[in-house]
Structure 1
Amino acid sequence: MEKVAIIDLGSNSVRLMLVGISSDGSYKLIDEAKEGVRLSENMGPELTLKPAAIVRTIEALRLFQHLYRAHGITQIIAVATAAVRLASNQREFLQQVKDATGLEFRVLSGQEEAQAAYMGVVNTIDASDGLIIDIGGGSTELIQLKDRRVVAATSLPFGSVTLTESFLDKVKPTEEQVKTLEGFLREHFSSVEWLRDMNNPTIFGLGGTIRNLSKIDRKRKKYSLDITHNYRMSGKDVLDIYRLVRTANLEQRKKIPGLSKDRADIIIAGLAVVSGLVNYTQSQELAVSGSGLRDGLFYQYLLRNREVPFIDNLTQHSVENLMRYYNLELDHPRHVAKLTLSMFDQLQSLHELGPAERKILEVASLLHDVGILVNFYDHHKHSFYLITNSRINGLTHREILVAAYVAMSHSKPLQANILPHRDILNEDDGKTIKILGVILRIAEALERSEAGVIQDIRCHQYVDNVHLVALARHSAELEICDAFKGAADFKKVFGRNLFISAQNL
């Protein structure tokens, strides 16, 4: 297995991501680490990295070395962003780092930083049109998306650390300080020509400020999933939290549920940026990305032989990677998915569901047995847990939950108690889960021996009945008997009797 270390040296913190890449192209996150170094602290108008910040940074990098060497890393990608990019003593600093650690950092330009952030977002979120914002400690990247491609991008020379030092008292900013900062931000946003024409875009946000913002929102709403990536907030939620935070003093901010204590002194400036952008563009939705610069750098490396390091089908790529990551036997779930989708398509006039539900059903079919990795007994429950706690890109939180409930239904009748997640799911979702669940349960039974006995199916609909004909390579008594156990649930869901017979090919 190839093991890659990606180090992102920012203005506020230095972060390490370790990823393993298997020979089949699948990959998994091995470990992560973060150290707050405040490299840009007190740079001043002379833009000089200060000795204390340099010492903190080198100490953090040495700690990272112990970690990635223990993992047997084979490739290191080390990049530095705004603080080093702007530093007048950049060359001396990089030499100090090299002498102390042996690491050679590549300093990203603003455009390169924006490009890497873009790759991290579009390769993990179904982001077609909208506006990406990456708020760092010393810079803010803005990227306009159209059909998943970059239309325009700019790097603004400020972030949560530098704005705090320039405008705000860290303990309790005055109203005048906050107003001055907000005016400064409006002026800079209005100077970006292409941004003036954006009206009510979906904003895709990344960086520590955005992650903390989403966690505060999830805590105050008692959100039932502990997932940051692709969490959605309204523009009003963003503005409400900004008002809450900007009126609190430092000690009060440290007690806000969801807010990291080590970010409490710079969070007002960070939230001023995102709330200012929400106001300026009249955006009604913020989508939170848990993937950013480091992920983008990883995809650039993983897909380096492609003309553009771009994943076309996020969900398919993500599920296939999970199946290999969990070392699942591939033929059985793929055949179950084939039978499941065939039944879904042939019964469309009965269930009247569409492409979105079909995609959910395919994910549930492919991952229905993943819980066996924990234990065969109650593996349907383990499958639910693993699906809801795995990164499945291209699906919303609601779609992930529906897929997990459907997968859980593959071996037990109508497992659709959605009450624990009623903040995300509604009654219609419960009905959808029952429809998709019974289809998966019957299709999985038709692959009971995991030998591909049933090659395909034909569904014939009548007034009160559905006749499912299983096209078999040889005797399919086991499969037919097992599938018929789902007939009672089929009648409850579709209101028709189910008859199953086999036809030899």
Structure 2
Amino acid sequence: MKLGIIDIGSNSITLCIAELYKEEGYFKILDEEKETVRLGKDTLADGTLHHDRMQKALLTLKYYKSLCDTLGVTKIKAVATEAVRKAPNQEYFINLVLEMTGISIEILSGDEEAYFAYVSTVATFTLKDYFMMDIGGSSLEIGLVRNRELVAAVSLPLGAIPISECFNVSDPLTPETSLALKRYLTTQFQAIPWLASHQNLPLIGVGGSLRNISKIHKKMVDDPMTSNHHYTLSNETVKNLYGYISKMDLKQKRKLKGLSKDRADIFTGALGAVLELMNVTNACELVISQYGIRQGLIYDTLVDGNLSKLHPIDDSIQYFMNIGQLDAKHPHHVYHLSQKLLLQLEPLLVLTQNVSDVFKVAALLFNVGTSLTFENHYAHSFYMILNGGLTGLNQTDLLRSAYVAALSHKSQYKLPLAYKALLSDAQIQEAQQLGIIIKLAKTLDRGLDHNVYDVSVTMTENTVIVKTNAKKFPYLEINKVYQIADAFEKVFEKKLVVTN
């Protein structure tokens, strides 16, 4: 099934085309497009949409319909948010679009908008408790998530466009204007009772303005990671960014690396809203989401509204295996053996946070690079894990997983210096240990026939003895293990012995 999702927002109109494999439980993005229409700008006092803005929206939707037809889309789901939701001439606009393009538009309520933003977070993060905010052109949605359930939500008319128009944030903010904006936003947020009663939670930020925050900061610190998903900033960092950008004029903001030129005139207001929400909730950190309402609608369609089916890390692993057409039996057996080894070698290991997730991704996706070419597949695996859209891990853990996967084939794999700077010495040592453990497990299944089905480990002062349980004598496997014994000894400073 090919599904086209069109999000008619107040600032931009976006299209996402995905192919859904519902039985297998995953989808693949085929194409995306975005046009800054500013449908929520130049409205009349009562919210009536401006004729010229509607015409630009119509031209954009005609183009999207043509693109969907060309790619064989079987279903188009178009949704509109705050600008159309509050417009007295919404019926005229909806009928015009239907008549001229055949696209039927559904107007989302504020609660529905918050819900689909929430779906995109629960599908791509493993966090259990957090606040969520989605700031669009005309509205701001806030949600409270407890134990991965959306327990409260609100939609406010505090989008980037109305904030910009009220406080003229395209110009450098004077101290008086900055204080007025702060007081206004704080008053709005403090009127929501459940914000104050749930403090010190992370805040997941959804939407283009939030992604621009991460892009700007990544440029400032020369962060080499390409994805914005799960990029994390402290309250102090957000405060410093706001102080820096709020002093810029429009020309300076349009030259600011990481900031989209079409958001330059409204970005300060959006950033101010993020900062004040963090202050009111004492948010411990801002976590950026790469995904939003469009992906929320896709995930909701994929699982028919049953969100309990969503498991970010496992779903991502399965996605990689499916698109790479990998035989899952070998990596799953490697994961089984490597878990046994990991548990029994634990006294020798340097383990840091989230090691189980890092290890799982590396052990199951170590050979994903073979879907490109077998030659240098370890390097392909590193790149694909790091840049292929795997969700559920923060950016550091994603890098750790990619590094471990590469080390599981090439023990001397050199991590590029820009990436190495993101890891601690302990994490680098840990990666080398995890890599050789997976390499050992891979070698014990070198025949791909699961001949070795279990292992036990004993240790002496100078030796690690691995005893195999096998269906038949593992001559090939034992011979191959001794070929990596030097690499094992270099990492653990103990000789490796294998018996059956």
TM over 0.5: yes
Identical aligned residues as a percent: 34
Structure 1 segment 465-476 matched on structure 2, within 5 A: 465-476=463-474
Instruction: Tell me the SS of whatever aligns to 1:359.
Output: helix
3-state SS of 1:412 partner: coil
Where does residue 284 of structure 1 map in the other structure?
A: 284
Of 49-58 and 466-475, more deviation after overlay is shown by 466-475
SS in 1 for 2:308: coil
2:13 matched residue in structure 1 = 14
Read off the aligned partner of 2:26 and give its amino acid letter.
S
Give the partner amino acid of 2:16. Answer: M
**Corresponding position of 1:74:** 74
What do residues 372-430 of structure 1 show as CA deviations (whole Å, max 9, x unaligned)?
12221111111111111112211111111111111111222242546331342110011
SS at match of 2:307: coil
Alignment partner of 1:321 out of 309, 319, 322 = 319
**1:26·1:325 contact (CA, 8 Å) conserved in 2?**
no
Q: Secondary structure at the match of 2:131?
A: strand
Quick check: 1:302 aligned with 2:313?
no
Q: Which residue of 2 aligns with 1:98?
A: 98
The one-character-per-residue Cα deviations of 1:204-258 (angstroms, maximum 9, x if unpaired) are 1011111111100000011121110000011111111111111111101111111
Q: What is the SS of the residue equivalent to 1:481?
A: helix
Q: TM-score, normalised by structure 2?
A: 0.96
Which residue of the partner structure matches residue 25 of structure 1? Answer: 25
Map of 1:197-276 to 2, 5 A cutoff? 197-276=197-276
Q: For the residues of structure 2 that align with 1:257 and 1:366, how far apart are their CA atoms?
A: 37
* SS of the residue 1:145 aligns to: strand
Q: Determine the C-alpha separation between the residues in 1 that align with 2:421 and 2:272.
A: 28
Residue by residue, what CA displacement relative to the aligned partner does 1:414-468 show, whole Å, maximum 9, x if unpaired? Answer: 4254633134211001110111011011111111122222222222223322221
Q: 1:350 to 1:173 in 2, by over 3 A?
A: closer
- Which deviates further from its counterpart, 452-461 or 175-184? 175-184
Instruction: Supply the distance in 1 between the matched residues of 2:32 and 2:122 (Cα, whole angstroms).
Output: 21
Instruction: Evaluate the alpha carbon distance shift between residue 398 and residue 169 of structure 1 in structure 2; reply closer, same or farther with a 3 A threshold.
Output: closer
Q: Give the structure 2 partner of residue 52 of structure 1.
A: 52
Within 5 A, what are the aligned runs for 1:332-351? 332-351=330-349
Instruction: Find the aligned partners of 2:45 and 2:149 in 1 and give their Cα distance.
Output: 36
Question: Does the CA contact (< 8 Å) of 1:405 and 1:416 recur in 2?
Answer: no
User: Hey, what does 1:404 align to over in structure 2?
Assistant: 402
Work out the CA distance in 2 between the residues paired with 1:311 and 1:420: 37
RMSD: 1.7
- Larger mean Cα displacement after TM superposition, 402-411 or 165-174: 165-174
The Cα offsets for residues 167-205 of structure 1, whole Å up to 9 and x where unpaired, read as 316345544434332222111111111112233321110
Partner SS state of residue 238, structure 1: helix
CA displacement at 1:302 relative to structure 2: 0.6
Q: Does 1:368 align with 2:366?
A: yes
Deviations 1:331-358 (A, max 9, x none): 1111111111111112223326378323
CA distance in 2, matches of 1:318, 1:417: 24
Secondary structure class of the residue paired with 1:310: helix
2:130 partner letter? G
Aligned partner letter, 2:3: V
Deviation at 1:310, TM superposition (A): 3.4
Residues 130 and 25 (structure 1), Cα distance of their counterparts in 2 relative to 1, 3 Å cut: closer
CA separation in 2, counterparts of 1:207 and 1:352? Answer: 38
- Which of 383, 387, 395 is the aligned partner of 1:389? 387
Say whether the 8 Å CA contact 1:416–1:430 is kept in structure 2. Answer: no
**Change beyond 3 A, Cα 1:181–1:353:** closer
Offset, 1:315: 0.9
The answer as to whether partners of 1:224 and 1:421 remain within 8 angstroms in 2 is yes
Question: Residues 234 and 284 of structure 1 are in contact (CA less than 8 Å); yes or no, is this contact kept in structure 2?
Answer: yes
In structure 2, C-alpha distance between the alignment counterparts of 1:185 and 1:169, rounded to whole Å: 14
Count of equivalent residues: 499
Taking the TM superposition and a 5 Å limit, the aligned residue runs for 1:99-114 are 99-114=99-114
Unaligned runs of 5+ in 2: none
Are the equivalent residues in 1 in contact too, given 2:169–2:246 (CA < 8 A)? Answer: no
Cα distance in 1, alignment partners of residues 457 and 352 from structure 2: 18
State the one-letter code of the partner of 2:409: S
Report how far residue 309 of structure 1 moved. Answer: 2.1
CA contact (8 A) 1:123 1:310 kept: no
| Deviation larger for 36-45 or 191-200 | 191-200
- Cα distance in 1 between the residues matched to 2:431 and 2:115: 39
